[in-house]
Structure 1
Amino acid sequence: MVPARVELWIGGEAALQAFDTDEASRRRDELAGRARGEGLERLAAWMEADEDAEARRLVAALSLSPHLAAVAERRPGWIDRLFDLDAGERIRRIVADLAAPVPSDASESAEMCRLREAKAEASLLIALRDLFGAADPERTTADLSDLADAAIGRALRFCLGDLHARGQLALPDPADPEAGCGLTVLGMGKLGGRELNYSSDIDLILFFEPEAPAIRDPGESVEMFSRLGRRLVRMIGERTRDGYVFRTDLRLRPDPSAMPLAIPIPAALIYYEGAGRDWERAAMIKARTVAGDRAVGAGFLRDIAPFVWRRYLDFVAIGDIQAMKSKIDRHRGFEGIATAGHNVKLGQGGIREVEFFAQAQQLIAGGRLPALRTRRTDEALQRLAAGGWVASDVAAELTEAYWFLRRVEHAIQMVADEQSHTLPQGREDLLRIARLCNYAETEDFEAALLQRLRRVQARFSALFSEGRTAREDETGVDALLEDEADPAALRWLEQQGYTRPADIGRIVHRWGSGRYRAMRSDAAREQFVAVLPSLLGAFAGGADPDGALLAFDRFLEGLPSGLQFFSLIASNPRLLDLLARIITSSPRLAETIARRPHVFDALLDPAFFSELPTRDLIRERLDAFLADARFFEERLDRLRIFASEQRFLVGVRLLSGALEGEAAGRAFSDLAEAVLHQVLEAVEGEFARAHGRVPGGRIAVLGLGRLGSRELTANSDIDLMLLYDHDAEAEVSDGSRPLPVSTYYARMTQRLISALTSPTAEGVLYEVDFRLRPSGNKGPLATQIGAFRKYQAEAWTWERMALTRSRPVAGEARLCEEIGEAVREAIRSHRADPLLSDDVADMRARLDVQKPPRGALDLKRVPGGLTDLEFIAQWGILTGIVPLDFVGAPTGEALASLRESDRRAEELPAAMREMTRIMQILRLGGDSTFRVADLPGPLADRIAASLDIADRSGIEPQVAHRAAEVRAVFAETIPYRGGASD
């Protein structure tokens, strides 16, 4: 009789149904007999009694899987052990035992036997937990991956220890052979993602650091580690009487037909940077160090990151991944969705489509968003949803389908321990798979499977066809690329609203002639043809289709390369309307896209319209973007890329109405401040490497003008002053090439200016102006804080006016505080100056004469315009009417404070707000447009909307009205003695 309390510790509540009663009875008798033959009476009696639900589940599992039955019958003690120990705990112990040190007297044959026994027992228990419902597919794949890691690590430690014993390696710590050995083993694919199949190959790549101290003979290192690789593969993959551990594949290494099994890291990096393909980028997403020298592995993955995670959004990757999937379909003959005979990994709607769905979008955006750089497919979908790249319901749907399909995949492989992903054709064999997946009937299983396959296939197809119009739905306008007078195409253009279709036809034909750089490659032309009908339709939607197309023609002529850009808009048709608006209304933004098409990437962020680019957010993203920059020039280039992209982003938000002028000014200024902080830090560090540091040296940058008051526009220069301090006794820097203190800081300032202004392939960071420093161009480039205080004690009124729009924007925190106090003291100490108001008024009068307005929208020069408003605010701070807290604040905030004490200023904040909005939008169009009639129509309409007036005809009257109000307040508030334009 079986004791009542005897039960297996497997767990789970899944109800398994046997394949049939005869098979179940045979498996029960066979296992019970084997148990009795080995003296396991407890197990034998428990099986024969057939009174326990757990026993019936076990018998059902063995009846469904000949492989599991064979393992259990060969080693019934592994089942008997589960009466005393939980299966999950036993799996963990097996993995832990493999991770233990290899005995010094261990033989290769003994280790191979031990590895195979461990794999067989762990695989049996992992399968039972999976079938019983004690482990979900995620836990099953993680357990299999942990087992593989432990097995690879143990075999590698044996091989490394043997090389050390033979004198071929000098391991730093023979007790821990992997540490410092110089060789790293990368797990790829599902092993890298800790998502291993039940009966999977493991994909490995072996890299080594050729200068590792452990290597005794560098000239023999490739051959030595390649021999180790062959031995490792034999120990793990060779099938012996004890079975095998894991089938092992090393073909994912670079150029496997030519490269050795173990590859020096410098050679690998050269290959990836020069010849790496998109499928290798996708493969490297999952790469993980699974054994060997962890430091070497981490260093390699860090160095390979720029290859995998490109700085720009990469929509060519979508086409390449789609091509890979199509090649798989053609090669394997996969067509349609079915159940019998369907490949759940590579077939349509299968696992690979879920993986490609996630990986394509990871490759597109992972360079900009490090959060997307995850190895696991389910985590990638979750993070894509969190970032708004994928709808949350789509991510949840694909994740559920993914794990369902992985469960089916495991069931297929549990039948005979074969690396198969294909469902059987026969109905009886299909029933076996259904019941392994806990479906009693084949029909229920097929319905559930088909539902998931169709969902996946639909989502995958939607991603890879978005923006691509089917041929039968196209308009035929791409025929104009070959024939400028194609009648059907010209009729379509006319129907769309183009008033000169023949001229438009000639322009489109010119695009196909190969004269434009962007259209010269076949790949670029293919993408362009795909998007051309939608592009022409988008331009036709505006008020002036012909003018819009001419503007696009100028844009296209300046575009240096078209493949990435055309791929981007082909994959994101929602961008076409925005592109049309930019090109027709903002030559400045269009010029930015033409010069650097990748800045358009930023518009694809799902949070684009709703997210306000705050100072903290800008700094957080900049830190992430710079994280893997390896040297000074790369850091500067990344700063140029980031600044250009973010300026463009703010400009487009402003153009679209998502942001108004005052918020844009803050965003432009916060961006400049974040960039300056990073540039100053990089320049200071690089300069110190050559010249050391000045004892007690501190530096800070004071921002003035529009940067100081956080009112930068899209094209503003930045006014700067560099100040420093040091120990009183310091005379020279302490580096290998020391410099006198004043020379040190002057040259560092020159380096800073050069870093900001030097043009490179990535553009220019900022144009800078240092003329507001003490003594202007005649004074030293860098100013000591004590000299700054002394100079400001005797400064002119206009210099103190400049200080009212100043604030420290980068540098040592304590020095920034001291500078801020010095500025406030310079202003405070001159409040009683009897000539203060006269000076401000005279200055404005001279500007009226010397710089008259060039049109109604020359807001800086027009009487009552921005200069009047800025002068009033500055005067208010200098006189003490406006508190010193408003030094460095936006002009509108200072005017609002002035209004609290002087009711004459009642309308000034509103005037400042309106003129700021106009100025910010005008700057998107350029620097030389001063009349509404000269503005692009959409830009004029945007200004009217920002002022909340009916149409563009009201802009100039509104400006004139506000200017008259402001000039009247100026004349009444500040003694004004006349001017030519008054």
Structure 2
Amino acid sequence: MTAFFERITLSPLVYDAARGADALDTLTNSLRAAADLAPAAALLAEAPKVRALLSATFSGSPYLTSLALRDPSTLAECLLRDPDAHLAEARKGLAEAVAEAQNAREAMALLRRFKHRIALLTGLADLGGVWSTEATLSAMSVAADTVLEQATAFLFRKAREAGQMNPQADASSAVQGYFVIAMGKLGAFELNYSSDIDIIVFYDAERAGLRPDIEPSTFFVRLTRELVRLLQEHTADGYVFRTDLRLRPDPGATQIALSTDAGHIYYESFGQNWERAALIKARVAAGDGEAGEEFLHQLAPFIWRKYLDFAAVADIHAMKRRVHAFKGHGAIAVEGHDIKLGRGGIRDIEFFAQTQQLIAGGRHPELRTRGTIETLDRLASGGWITPEAARELTGAYLFLRRIENRLQMIGDQQTHIIPDDLTELARVAALSGFADTNAFGDGLIAELKRVEAHYGALFEKLPEPSSAPRLVVQADEADPAALASLERLGFHNPQAAIAAIRAWQSGRYAATRSGRARERLTEFLPALLDAFSRTAEPDLALATFDKVIAEMPAGVQLFSLLAVNPSLLRLIADIMGTAPRLAHIIGRRPRLLDAVLDPGFFGTVPTPAKLKELVGNALAEAHDYQDALDRARIVGREQGFLIGVRVISGTLSARQAGAAYAGLAETLIEALAGRVEAELVRQHGRMAGGEAAVVAMGKLGGREMTAASDLDLIIVYDYAGEGAQSDGAKSLPGPQYYARFTQRLIAALSAATVEGS
């Protein structure tokens, strides 16, 4: 084993010499004041490399300075011991200490002190070149695993002590039936310095060994909530890791711990292509490893498809645009550039690799790797990319991850943005080993452009989708690029828009529950968003469309129609944005849009004879009087919808629309009056010499109706002679006969049935 100080090969450059010197003096005095730290004090006096590393680090990183000065003994251990052995022994020591912790407060303190130790060790090892960038990322990931393992074991121990576990259950394992899946960078052992950890928690109730009277879901949700508290609650000792559970299935509607059965059902029935990509890096980080590995093994067919379908290709495009709105994102820059999500950034490299894993991993198991660098190497070995592409992308990835770590070492903040303040930019440049900001900027720009070139070349091989952003929104939160893209499209509340899109894509609504429905929706969603953006109120248009989808029992018919008829999308958007009543009709009867596709639709309106034929045919199929009323409402609503569509499209003026609505009303009144009369004759017979007329008044009489106009009618009638009676079995006198006719006609026109009024 080789001591840390003997492995130092690099040093940051000095940013603030006075600050660095002051901190180094303070540290030296602390080491000299403690007899047991004399070897470290002597090392500082005798080792120029150590002094250079520490003074430069202290000059640029307030966070690392605070860790070192707060705990000089830990710093001494970091410098004097072999770093790999130090990490291993720290992990072992944490396990032993947490096993003796009496309560959550003690466990939380132990976890936080461990994190401080690891943060100091990895920060110095990274800055000093003691560990490679890959080794640094791996060390942070291993530390996170250790924290998850020990926190989970502690909670199960306390549950066992509280009598919540079945005494007859197998106690050979500390944790049974409960496991934590590491996702994202943690899953790939690529955790950055101040990263959140993305996890999903599952449990298998049959393996858990709970007491029979304890409900598993309640128990494991409560335990998971406590696990998160142990890790991320801020105490006097700080926090351990910010913990994110939002990559779980349908996070807006599910508990923070899910049964394995629920997980399988979700992924098999509703899983999205972005979730396939996310699960590429999934692994068991803590808990019951056997149960977790079995669960992931069963998910393999979902993640790795033998064939790439259209929806997967579309989602790959969407993932690309979700990162940085490829066509609309600002140019590569230094100041203010997001090295994770921006053009040429870390996410581009990850998606470059994951895209090809999704495409080919089903047929080529050797591509089913988690780490980005390993995946690039496998892609090159298999001939999927050139060795040059793999070499350049690997170099860029390591460079950007080093810069990312240094950005976060400054203040223990999860940031990926290059400062636009020149003073702070100089700090980052110095920590990164560059002589000045110009050299730093040149190096950064060169790497970003290399990534951009390879990334663009890959996606040129796929057909270009709509220019609108493709949003395959992750279950955690929208990327800033997606929000910005929606804002550019005119959405005032992009968060609400993304929440609605997330609901569609998660299969939360009945209309999007089938995979086929979601595939069709994916095909036209970008163009639909673009169409919404061209309305006066994009937010209203999208919100109305969301309500329509939420009410639909199935979506395949409508989505398929829109997917293959992009010309309809602008019309649909206009309807959603200006006529919510018409929008809901589309949801109930998408077949109405077939008529709109007729080239002659917008040029004319049905003639009175054609309307009479349409209404007559509809009522002719009625099984009885009530069915006739329902069918009249259906045909009336459908024809009214088509008039409204013509108005919205601008092919029908308000005056023409008034006449069209009046003509439709007259046709329906005439048809229903005939049905009412026939029903009256059946019950009460005919009135000798009797006749009646319906006189239109108001807007109907003036043929100036709108879609919401009431009907103002007068019924006039006549019959033969005073005291005449109808000739039916239940005869009625003339006035009562026609009063009954009037009442029934009003009911036929306005009474609510299952089809409305």
TM-score (norm 2): 0.59
- Pair 1:109 & 2:100 matched: no
- Contact in 1 for aligned 2:323/2:347 (Cα 8 Å): no
Q: CA 1:14–1:217 in structure 2 vs 1: closer, same or farther (change >3 Å)?
A: same
- Residue 12 of structure 1 and its aligned partner are, at CA, apart by 2.6
- Contact in 2 for aligned 1:527/1:563 (Cα 8 Å): no
Deviations 1:267-288 (A, max 9, x none): 1111111111111111111110
Deviations 1:479-529 (A, max 9, x none): xxxxxxxxxxxxxxxxxxxxxxxxxxxxxxxxxxxxxx9xx968669999x
Q: Aligned with 1:271: secondary structure? A: helix
Q: Aligned with 2:377: secondary structure? A: helix
- Contact in 2 for aligned 1:10/1:128 (Cα 8 Å): no
- Pair 1:461 & 2:467 matched: no
Q: Which of 1 and 2 has higher RCO (CA within 8 Å, sep 6+)? A: 2
Unaligned runs of 5+ in 2: 468-515, 528-559, 565-757
**Aligned partner of 2:405 among 389, 404, 410:** 410
Aligned to 1:26: 22
- Residue 9 of structure 1 and its aligned partner are, at CA, apart by 2.8
Q: Aligned with 2:454: secondary structure? A: helix
- Contact in 2 for aligned 1:62/1:68 (Cα 8 Å): yes
Q: CA 1:449–1:564 in structure 2 vs 1: closer, same or farther (change >3 Å)?
A: farther
Equivalent residues in 2 for 1:395-434, closer than 5 Å? 395-434=390-429
- Residue 176 of structure 1 and its aligned partner are, at CA, apart by 3.4
- Pair 1:157 & 2:156 matched: no
Q: CA 1:122–1:433 in structure 2 vs 1: closer, same or farther (change >3 Å)?
A: same
CA distance in 2, matches of 1:11, 1:562: 65
Aligned to 2:287: 292
Q: CA 1:10–1:220 in structure 2 vs 1: closer, same or farther (change >3 Å)?
A: farther
Aligned to 2:305: 310
4+ runs deviating over 6 angstroms: 469-472, 522-528, 561-565
Q: Aligned with 2:215: secondary structure? A: helix
Deviations 1:400-456 (A, max 9, x none): 111111111001000001111111111221121122222222211111111110111
**Aligned partner of 1:366 among 332, 343, 361:** 361
Q: Which amino acid aligns with 1:68?
A: L
- Contact in 2 for aligned 1:341/1:425 (Cα 8 Å): yes
Q: CA 1:525–1:143 in structure 2 vs 1: closer, same or farther (change >3 Å)?
A: closer
CA distance in 2, matches of 1:455, 1:364: 23
Bigger shift: residues 18-27 or 189-198 = 18-27
Q: CA 1:101–1:110 in structure 2 vs 1: closer, same or farther (change >3 Å)?
A: closer
CA distance in 1, matches of 2:521, 2:224: 42
CA distance in 1, matches of 2:120, 2:432: 16
CA distance in 1, matches of 2:124, 2:406: 11
Q: Aligned with 2:5: secondary structure? A: coil
- Residue 156 of structure 1 and its aligned partner are, at CA, apart by 0.2
Q: Aligned with 2:404: secondary structure? A: helix
Q: CA 1:18–1:262 in structure 2 vs 1: closer, same or farther (change >3 Å)?
A: same
- Contact in 1 for aligned 2:145/2:286 (Cα 8 Å): yes
- Pair 1:202 & 2:197 matched: yes
Q: Which amino acid aligns with 1:217?
A: P
Equivalent residues in 2 for 1:435-450, closer than 5 Å? 435-450=430-445
CA distance in 2, matches of 1:363, 1:444: 38
- Pair 1:277 & 2:272 matched: yes
**Aligned partner of 1:354 among 349, 355, 361:** 349
Equivalent residues in 2 for 1:58-73, closer than 5 Å? 58-73=54-69
Q: Aligned with 2:7: secondary structure? A: coil
Bigger shift: residues 328-337 or 432-441 = 328-337
Aligned to 2:174: 177
Q: CA 1:164–1:65 in structure 2 vs 1: closer, same or farther (change >3 Å)?
A: same
CA distance in 2, matches of 1:41, 1:373: 48
Equivalent residues in 2 for 1:32-43, closer than 5 Å? 32-39=28-35, 42=38
- Residue 47 of structure 1 and its aligned partner are, at CA, apart by 7.9
Aligned to 1:215: 210
Q: CA 1:110–1:86 in structure 2 vs 1: closer, same or farther (change >3 Å)?
A: same
- Contact in 1 for aligned 2:101/2:107 (Cα 8 Å): no
Equivalent residues in 2 for 1:86-125, closer than 5 Å? 86-100=82-96, 102-103=98-99, 106-125=102-121
Q: Aligned with 1:194: secondary structure? A: coil
Q: Aligned with 2:181: secondary structure? A: strand
Deviations 1:25-68 (A, max 9, x none): 22212222333454566368548758723212211112111100
- Contact in 2 for aligned 1:439/1:445 (Cα 8 Å): yes
Q: CA 1:101–1:417 in structure 2 vs 1: closer, same or farther (change >3 Å)?
A: closer
Aligned to 1:336: 331
Q: Which amino acid aligns with 2:304?
A: W
Deviations 1:214-243 (A, max 9, x none): 132376101100111011111111111111
Q: Aligned with 1:67: secondary structure? A: helix
- Residue 80 of structure 1 and its aligned partner are, at CA, apart by 2.0
CA distance in 1, matches of 2:289, 2:400: 33
* Aligned Cα root-mean-square deviation (Å): 3.3
Q: CA 1:282–1:469 in structure 2 vs 1: closer, same or farther (change >3 Å)?
A: closer
Q: CA 1:389–1:202 in structure 2 vs 1: closer, same or farther (change >3 Å)?
A: same
Unaligned runs of 5+ in 1: 1-5, 473-516, 529-560, 566-982
- Contact in 2 for aligned 1:209/1:264 (Cα 8 Å): yes
Q: Which amino acid aligns with 1:398?
A: L
Q: Aligned with 1:212: secondary structure? A: helix
TM-score (norm 1): 0.46
Aligned to 2:372: 377
Aligned to 1:146: 142
Aligned to 2:164: 168
Q: Which amino acid aligns with 1:177?
A: A
Deviations 1:668-701 (A, max 9, x none): xxxxxxxxxxxxxxxxxxxxxxxxxxxxxxxxxx
**Aligned partner of 1:130 among 117, 126, 130:** 126
Q: Which amino acid aligns with 2:23?
A: R
Q: Which amino acid aligns with 1:416?
A: G
- Contact in 2 for aligned 1:20/1:63 (Cα 8 Å): yes
- Residue 17 of structure 1 and its aligned partner are, at CA, apart by 1.8
- Contact in 1 for aligned 2:326/2:343 (Cα 8 Å): no
Equivalent residues in 2 for 1:864-875, closer than 5 Å? none
- Residue 83 of structure 1 and its aligned partner are, at CA, apart by 5.4
- Residue 182 of structure 1 and its aligned partner are, at CA, apart by 0.6
CA distance in 2, matches of 1:416, 1:128: 15
Aligned to 1:267: 262
CA distance in 2, matches of 1:200, 1:470: 33
CA distance in 2, matches of 1:8, 1:523: 53
Q: CA 1:46–1:442 in structure 2 vs 1: closer, same or farther (change >3 Å)?
A: farther
Deviations 1:511-567 (A, max 9, x none): xxxxxx9xx968669999xxxxxxxxxxxxxxxxxxxxxxxxxxxxxxxx99999xx
CA distance in 1, matches of 2:7, 2:411: 24
Q: CA 1:7–1:213 in structure 2 vs 1: closer, same or farther (change >3 Å)?
A: closer
CA distance in 2, matches of 1:105, 1:527: 54
Equivalent residues in 2 for 1:526-541, closer than 5 Å? none
Q: CA 1:99–1:366 in structure 2 vs 1: closer, same or farther (change >3 Å)?
A: farther
Q: CA 1:116–1:101 in structure 2 vs 1: closer, same or farther (change >3 Å)?
A: closer
CA distance in 2, matches of 1:387, 1:165: 53
- Contact in 2 for aligned 1:328/1:346 (Cα 8 Å): yes
Q: Which amino acid aligns with 2:197?
A: I
CA distance in 2, matches of 1:343, 1:43: 43
CA distance in 2, matches of 1:131, 1:110: 32
| Count of aligned residue pairs for this structure pair | 481
CA distance in 2, matches of 1:316, 1:61: 49
